[in-house]
Structure formats: structure tokens, C-alpha cells
Amino acid sequence: MLQGHAFTIDLHILSIEGPEVVLGIQWLQTLGKVTHDYSNHTMEFLWQGAIIQLRGDSKLDPEPSSADSLFSDTPESLHPLLTQYSHLFQPPTSLPHHRPTDHRIHLLPNTCPINGYDVAIRAPGLVVLPLDDEQMELSKTLLQLCEFVVDKINDQTKEKITKQTLMDLALSEQLKKKKEMEKNLQKLTKTMDYLERVKREEAAPFIEAAFQKRLEDEKDHHEREQQV
């Protein structure tokens, strides 16, 4: 029975707390077309030739809680435990213990590590990690590039410095360096080809002499066999 109306429902035994029965999609599918009024918490549908209206319990609407009510609802049995470990709930005043993974802070443009150290974040505090030689060299290169870009903008274009401007100029410098490397690689390839060609030309007379010597040896060997 549901609000005075009889329904035949297949139930599944589940381990739940609170309501005695939970009516799910399997039951709703048997109702056909249903009209809902969420403002009045009602639903209407046609059941066995009659219009059935089910009304929700308005007493179940949640009410906002204040901060005082949250703390006042703490069970008495937990008070000794909260007092004993109150230091765990105090604001941190030192760095936390090391974690398996330390997350780095991504610095803003034009910012470089201070005194060769990098800053990594481990909630809720910060930890300072030393940079290795490769990271230090990369940081110096990026700093020089940023200084070059800023000077170029201030001295020549006089335009407003933006993140996109810095990225475009940095990319332009990278493309120039890439083209220079490609030119050097082409020169090196041509030099290697030239040396290989010269090497073959110098070795050609020796190869021809060795070939002639082999022909003469085979001819002498053939003549000795004919005499025998």
C-alpha cells in the first residue's frame, strides 16, 4: 500500500538504512506517462483506470545549518578525542613531512629561481629544492632570453609587453637557431660527401693496379695448367 493505493511490486533484498522500501526505475516503468509537479512535490499517473496522485512529504525538505549548530552537534563521546589530538587541527606552522611526489610551482614569465633553488609545493606548505646543473643552465638561458625580449620591445617597438608577444619573440629566436643548426648540418654533410669522393678518387689507381695484378696471376696459373 502506498498512500492508500495498492501496487504489486517485485522487491530486491538490499542492505540499506533509513527507508523500508526504495522504488526505483523498474517500478516507474510500469506507471506509463507520469506528470510531476516539483513545486508541490506531487506526481500523477493513470493506474487501473483511475488517476492516482502521490504527494511527497514536505517535512523531509533540508534546512540550512549554522556553524554553531554543526559544532554543537558533536557527540560527547568525541570531546576527549578531539581534546587529546587538538594539535592536529591547528594551522600549520612548519613544513609537512616529505611525500612520495612533490609538485613543482610553475613560475610566471620573467621569473627565475632565486639563488639556484627551485620551489616545490606540498600541501599545505612549501619546500625548497636545489637545482641540478642542467636545470640551472636552462634557467639562465631562459632569463637571458626574457631580458633580450624585454629590451627589444622597450627599445624598438615600444609596444605593450604581453604573454603572446614574449612567446612569439621567443619562438622567433628558436626558429633562427634551428635554421642555423640546419645550415651547419648541411655544410657538414657536404664536407663528408666531398671527403668520401676524394677518398674514392685517391683509391681508384690502387684498386685498378690490384685488379690488373690479379688478372696476370690468373693468366700465369692458367698457362701452367696447360703445360702440365
DSSP secondary structure string for all residues of 120-181 = EEETTEEEEEE--HHHHHHHHHHHHHHHHHHHHIIIII-PPP-HHHHHHHHHHHHHHHHHHH
How crowded is residue 56: how many other Cβ atoms within 10 Å of its Cβ?
A: 13
pLDDT of 134 strictly over 60: yes
Q: Which three cell numbers stand for residue 25?
A: 526505475
Tens of pLDDT, residue by residue over 153-180, are: 555 554 555 556 666 666 677 777 778 8
Q: Which three cell numbers stand for residue 22?
A: 526504495
Are the beta carbons of 9 and 23 closer than 8 angstroms? yes
Tens of pLDDT, residue by residue over 88-129, are: 877 766 666 677 776 665 666 666 554 444 444 444 444 455
Strands 117-122 and 103-104: antiparallel
Are the beta carbons of 94 and 123 closer than 8 angstroms? no
pLDDT mean over 124-149: 64
- Segments in the chain forming alpha helices (H): 25-28, 67-72, 79-84, 133-152, 163-227
Q: What average pLDDT is seen over the chain? A: 71
Tens of pLDDT, residue by residue over 190-220, are: 877 777 777 777 777 777 777 777 777 777 7
pLDDT of residue 12: 80
pLDDT of 37 strictly over 80: yes
Which of the listed ranges 78-87, 98-107, 124-133, 141-150 does the model predict with the highest average pLDDT? 78-87
| Confidence bin at 15 (pLDDT 50/70/90) | confident
| Confidence bin at 76 (pLDDT 50/70/90) | confident
**Cell numbers 668520401 label which residue?**
196
pLDDT of residue 141: 72
Coil, strand, or helix at residue 50?
A: strand
Higher-pLDDT residue of 29, 101: 29
What are the beta bridge partners of residue 43? 36, 54
Distances in Å between the Cα of 207 and the Cα atoms of 196, 200, 203 are 16, 10, 6
What is the spatial distance between Cα 207 and Cα 211, in angstroms, rounded to a whole number?
A: 6
pLDDT of residue 116: 45
pLDDT of residue 120: 45
Higher-pLDDT residue of 97, 41: 41
Coil, strand, or helix at residue 117?
A: strand
